[in-house]
């Protein structure tokens, strides 16, 4: 399984966007075409200065999405045999599941590291 570590708060932006698109793909069968279009418009909206605001994780993830879309197109055009397409799908699915778990583990680790702050009311 992937082991992710980050101390940079900006990395969370990339991980949250990665989870958003993964959730979109997981639930796509429940969307109407209009809802899917609206969600895709929102997910594919570039930040004002992507060169400085997009994390490397996010850029790599979107590159993987693009590669997956190309592979699907080649499979549907029968330029890629079904056995090879299935092998890539299984590998990608395992990697996607591992990525989700790693992000959740990272989030839980960050939560556990933060001290719990309580308000002192003066009563003892």
Judge whether 6 lies within some domain.
no
> What burial class does residue 8 get, using C-beta atoms within 10 Å of its C-beta: 0-12 exposed, 13-18 middle, 19+ buried?
exposed
Judge whether 47 lies within some domain.
yes
Judge whether 77 lies within some domain.
yes
Q: Which domain holds residue 107?
A: 11-113
Say if residue 119's pLDDT is above 80. no
Judge whether 21 lies within some domain.
yes
pLDDT of residue 46: 79
Judge whether 123 lies within some domain.
no
Structure tokens at 50: 């992507």
Judge whether 4 lies within some domain.
no
Cβ atoms within 10 Å of 96's Cβ, excluding its own? 17
Judge whether 76 lies within some domain.
yes
pLDDT of residue 52: 79
pTM of the model: 0.61
Number of domains in the chain: 1
For the segment 56-65, what is each residue's pLDDT rounded down to a tens digit? 878 888 888 8
Say if residue 17's pLDDT is above 70. yes
| 100 vs 14, higher pLDDT | 100
Separation of alpha carbons 80 and 86, rounded Å: 10
Judge whether 27 lies within some domain.
yes
């Amino acid at each position: 399984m992937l082991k992710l570590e980050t101390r940079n708060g900006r990395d969370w932006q990339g991980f949250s966007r990665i989870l958003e698109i993964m959730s979109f793909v997981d639930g796509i069968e429940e969307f109407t075409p209009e809802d899917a279009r609206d969600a895709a418009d929102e997910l594919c909206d570039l930040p004002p200065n992507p060169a400085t605001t997009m994390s490397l994780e996010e850029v790599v993830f979107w590159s993987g999405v693009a590669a997956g879309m190309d592979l699907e197109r080649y499979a549907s055009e029968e330029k890629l045999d079904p056995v090879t397409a299935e092998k890539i799908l299984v590998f990608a699915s395992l990697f996607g599941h591992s990525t989700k778990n790693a992000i959740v583990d990272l989030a839980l680790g960050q939560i556990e590291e933060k001290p719990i702050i309580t308000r002192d009311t003066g009563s003892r």
